[in-house]
Amino acid sequence: MIKKSIVLLASVFMLATACNSTTGKQTNDGETLNMEKSGLNSEENTAGKPIHLTYETFVEKVWNFEENPQNWVYEGELPAVIDFYADWCAPCRKIAPIMEKLAKEYEGKLIIYKIDVDNQQKLAAVFQVQSIPSVLFTPVDGQPMMQAGALTEEMYRQIIDEQLIKQSTNPTK
């Protein structure tokens, strides 16, 4: 009986920290979901806010894997944090305000992107996203780092400061 309780608690904990990206709310008609309807895709509304990416804008602003499938070549001028999420995912909803706050705090130093895995399944497949949230930390130079599961605001800030901002301002890179 105790073993069953422990297994049940462990299962609940795992479900609480990450969602499986292969299930959930799918759009049947290709319509974008709530956050994309808010106008965050338009360039004039993105200052200090996360930017929602589509397949096309990802290829343009982050990595053109169609031209460089074997080599990561970051297209941006600022480091980036890319949040792979879904509206139905509770841990994703938990970190959404953190990403909003970080976008404002690091405006001009870092870009926060969001990719809805239900609407952008090709992008999720490119990065082999199996659970969400998954966050890709992208330095200007060097290889990106993927982190699956929800972290605390302090942990995101530490990774950003030590792995992205510090590297982009380091004159010896």
Sequence letter at residue 135: V
Q: Among 53, 81, 89, 150, which one carries the catalytic annotation? A: 89
Tell me how far apart the alpha carbons of residues 25 and 14 are, in angstroms, rounded to a whole number. 20
- How far apart (Å, rounded) are the C-alpha atoms in residues 47 and 3? 51
Reply yes or no on whether 19 is catalytic: no
Catalytic residue among 92, 110, 123, 160: 92
State how far the Cα of 128 lies from the Cα of 105, in Å rounded to an integer. 29
Amino acid at 70: Q
Active site (catalytic) residues: 89, 92
